Amino acid sequence: MKLFLLALIFPCTCVFAQQRTVAECTLYFQNVLDANQTSDVNATTNEVVHKTIFIKGNNSRVNVVSPSYQISTIIDQSTGKVVVLRSFGNNKYMTVLTKAQWINANKKFDGMQLIPLNETKNILGYNCKKAQLFLKDSSVYTVFYATAITPSVKDFEYEFKDVPGFVLEYEAIDHNKKNKIHFVATKISFDPVLLSEFELPTKGYRIINY
């Protein structure tokens, strides 16, 4: 009888513990400015920076926007094509990368170690686990990731592609401990994402080769 009851309970437990793959969403982030930073760890900018991630099937787009610049990274995972758009005032640049070039551009993350930590936090209603990512150049990322969901595409934030969940908060300190960035998710929407978000501009951008 005990074995029968266990057989009934464990399948239900596994179903509820399954991680859901999110194939369509918009995730909004804002940078966190730490007024109590010490002199040896300074924010890369005092500007308020917003980041928006769009995911639709095999497509992803990340917009990073500040008052002085905008950078968009658009990836088609089915083809491996990556397009980076940069705008600084009236100056606009486009760089197109193959999958191999994108991997090479992110080679600093090769061999990165992920160390789980015994700390959790609730972000946007999701239970998030804490972990640290250690790069070979001694840079450190501290992340909180939702365990219940994971994005359908991972390469849009290459440093987080091996994190077992959806990163909803992260802080990065470079190897010389002089630059720090800190982003936290402020909203997630599961409404349909427009295909126009992944359309590439046909004019107005100067092509810069990788």
CATH of the domain at 162: 2.50.20.10
Q: Is the pLDDT of residue 123 over 90?
A: yes
Q: Does residue 187 belong to any structural domain of this protein?
A: yes
Q: Does residue 6 belong to any structural domain of this protein?
A: no
Q: Are 130 and 143 in contact (CB under 8 A)?
A: yes
Q: Read off the pLDDT band of 34 (50, 70, 90).
A: low
**Six token digits for residue 177:** 């401990």
Q: Are 189 and 197 in contact (CB under 8 A)?
A: no
* Beta-ladder partners of 92: 87
89: alpha, beta or left? (left if phi > 0; alpha if psi -120 to 50): left
**Six token digits for residue 114:** 């992920």
Percent of the chain topping pLDDT 70: 84
pLDDT of the residue at 41? 39
Q: Read off the pLDDT band of 10 (50, 70, 90).
A: very low
Domain residues for 63?
19-207
Q: Are 128 and 120 in contact (CB under 8 A)?
A: yes
Alpha-helix residue ranges (DSSP H) falling in 81-162: 99-105
Q: How many CB atoms lie within 10 A of CB 64?
A: 18
Q: DSSP letter string over 136-147?
A: TTS-EEEEEEES
Contacts of 1 (CB under 8 A, 6+ apart): none
Q: Does residue 1 belong to any structural domain of this protein?
A: no
- Count of domains in the chain? 1
Q: Are 74 and 83 in contact (CB under 8 A)?
A: yes
Q: What's the mean per-residue pLDDT of the chain? A: 86
- Mean pLDDT computed over 26-42: 67
Q: Does residue 134 belong to any structural domain of this protein?
A: yes
Contacts of 138 (CB under 8 A, 6+ apart): 175
Measured distance CA(51)–CA(71) in Å, rounded = 10
Q: Does residue 130 belong to any structural domain of this protein?
A: yes
Select the more confidently predicted residue: 37 or 134: 134
The H or E element that residue 6 is part of is helix 2-17
How many CA atoms lie within 13 Å of 7's alpha carbon, on the beta-carbon side? Answer: 4
